[in-house]
Amino acid sequence: MAPLPRERVNIERPFARTGVDFCGPIMIRSGIRRVVSIKCYVAVFVCLVTRAIHLELVSGLTTEAFLASLIRFISRRGPCSHIYSDNGTNFVGANKALHSYFSPERGQRTVEDSLTDLKIQWHFIPPAAPHFGGLWEAAVKSAKRHLLKVTAMGLLTYEEMNTLLCRVEAVLNSRPISPMSHDIRSQCIDTGPFFSWRKFNTTR
């Protein structure tokens, strides 16, 4: 097995180096009483060092919608210096809009120009090399598994979906990131204390 890239092992503040991917589309109700369904997506942000996860509900695959979710992410988790993502050709079976979102002709130039003031460097993994983004692909898979269990029971409203994402985020950040000990007195290490200074409560 090849050694991990230095972005994964160097000591950094949580989310200073972040991978991002999209999950969806997910159908939600447009109101409490109305049965009209609309599409939404989930932006999955993953810390490359601690593997902590942050989920943001996104109304669409436009550059403006993503940048709004990025601002919310930075406001809650702090500034990040590097962002890593697929470049469009790796989104197999995804929506055509998602393919063009990160294309060099449109998404990359637009997003990089918008991030100049934030001093964020955007890195695209090589084309046709999805294994370079295995960390955030695994996070998307885990988030999907939890979301599908709940959304299979019916359409949720925007508020309900946002609340569900917070709960899923807490569950994913409560998973152990170190080997479990057979000693019942020892505590496993999860990602919560790295950026919240407390353990997540996922039982209530």
Per residue in 159-196, pLDDT (tens digit) is 999 999 999 998 888 876 666 666 666 666 666 665 55
Q: Is residue 38 part of a domain?
A: yes
Query: Which domain range does residue 43 map to?
Result: 6-196
* pLDDT of the residue at 91: 34
Lowest-pLDDT range of 23-27, 29-33, 64-68, 129-133 = 129-133
Residue type, 168: V
Kindly tell me if the per-residue pLDDT of 51 is higher than 50.
yes
Nearest Cα to 170, choosing from 139, 193, 201?
A: 201
**CATH code of the domain containing 106:** 3.30.420.10
Query: In Å, what is the CA distance from 14 to each residue of 10, 33, 61, 79?
Result: 11, 40, 26, 10
Q: Is residue 1 part of a domain?
A: no
How far is residue 25's CA from residue 159's CA, in Å, rounded to a whole number? Answer: 17
Q: Is residue 203 part of a domain?
A: no
Higher pLDDT, 118 or 151: 151
Q: Is residue 160 part of a domain?
A: yes
Q: Is residue 190 part of a domain?
A: yes
Kindly tell me if the per-residue pLDDT of 73 is higher than 80.
yes
* pLDDT of the residue at 99: 45
**Cα angle vertex 75, ends 61, 85, to 5°?**
40
**Cα angle vertex 202, ends 197, 204, to 5°?**
120
Q: Is residue 204 part of a domain?
A: no
Q: How many domains does the chain have?
A: 1
Kindly tell me if the per-residue pLDDT of 32 is higher than 90.
no
Task: State the pTM of this model.
Answer: 0.73
* pLDDT of the residue at 162: 93
Query: What does the pLDDT average to over 68-84?
Result: 86
Q: Is residue 149 part of a domain?
A: yes
Q: Is residue 202 part of a domain?
A: no
Nearest Cα to 49, choosing from 75, 10, 88?
A: 10
Q: What is the pLDDT of residues 61-71, one digit of tens each?
A: 777 788 888 88
